[in-house]
Amino acid sequence: MKREDIRRRIEEVGIIPSVRVSSTEDAMFAAEAVSRGGIPIVEVALTVPDAIKVISHLVKNVPDLIVGAGSVRDAETASHCLEAGAQFVTSDGFDLETTKFVLARSVVTIPGALTPSDVLAAWKLRPDFVKVVPCGRVGGDNYIRDLKAMFPDVPMIAAGGVNQATASSFILAGAVALGIGSELIPREAIHRRQPDRIAELARRFTNFVNSARDE
């Protein structure tokens, strides 16, 4: 898929599941369970052991899944992720060189930001989205609403603090999509190998997004 297609698909689905688990096996399990629940996107955080191998495996073996790399901190690591087949790259903060590197390779780029200054600095490079994280700690949906008032043209992904009670509110506040980790992929569900539980959560969050957009 081309960059434009991946960006459009992320916008359509409105959810980026973040896989932050303690083993490669858990990561594979989580990604496949989320996909079963109807979300064809997964972000593998580089905090996962052998994350780059996980990315490569998923790209090769789950062709309908859009696989991204998360928590990327520098351009060198981003390069390894792209070599493994990552289709988008996200960061938990704004690193100028990483963002420039990924954009230069025409890959969907999602730098992290928190303050208005961060958002402004990131958006000057024209990435595909800006991920506001951890927005749940600094005002939640009201903070997204305030940022959108200042930067109405910036497509923002709300992450950090998104759960079943807040998902709709973040969309109504102006977030184009949600980054969701343990609320979508609970540790207990991973430990107990409960794919149906994760799939059901995926369906619930999808319904929250769609319902909020219809309002």
The reported pLDDT for the residue numbered 115 is: 96
DSSP calls for 93-152: S--HHHHHHHHHTT-EEE-EE-SHHHHHHHHTT--S-EEETTGGGTTHHHHHHHHHHH-T
Residue 15 pLDDT more than 90? yes
The Cα 40–Cα 191 span in angstroms is: 22
- The pLDDT tens digits of the residues spanning 41-75 come to 999 999 999 999 999 999 999 889 999 999 999 99
Dihedral angle over CA of 182, 64, 46, 143, nearest 10: -50
What percent of the chain is predicted at pLDDT more than 70? 100
Q: In this model, does residue 17 exceed pLDDT 90?
A: yes
pLDDT at 22 over 90: no
pLDDT digits (tens, 9 = 90+) for 75-107: 999 999 999 999 999 999 999 999 999 999 999
Neighbours of 40 (CB within 10 A): 16
Q: Please write the tens of the pLDDT for every residue from 158-183.
A: 999 999 999 999 999 999 999 999 99
DSSP letter for 94, please. Answer: -
Q: One-letter amino acid identity for 25? A: E
pLDDT for residue 136 is more than 90: no
- Model pLDDT for residues 29-38, shown as the tens digit of each residue: 999 999 999 9
Give strand pairing partners of 70: 45
**Taking 90 as the threshold, does the pLDDT of residue 12 lie above it?**
yes
Q: Given pLDDT bands bounded at 50, 70 and 90, which one contains residue 201?
A: very high
Q: What is the number of residues in the chain?
A: 215
- What pLDDT is attached to residue 137? 83
Residue 90: the pLDDT is 98
The average confidence (pLDDT) of the chain is 96
Tokens of 151: 């930067």
The DSSP call for residue 73 is -
Confidence at residue 1, expressed as pLDDT on a 0 to 100 scale? 85
CA 156, 157, 160, 166 dihedral sign is: positive
With cut-offs at 50, 70 and 90, classify the pLDDT of residue 9. Answer: very high
Nearest residue to 118 via CA among 142, 145, 96, 103: 96
Matching residue, tokens 């289709």: 87
- H or E segment at 187? helix 187-191
List the one residue out of 2, 3, 78, 67 whose CA is nearest residue 39.
67
Q: Which domains does the chain have, with CATH numbers?
A: 3-214 (3.20.20.70)
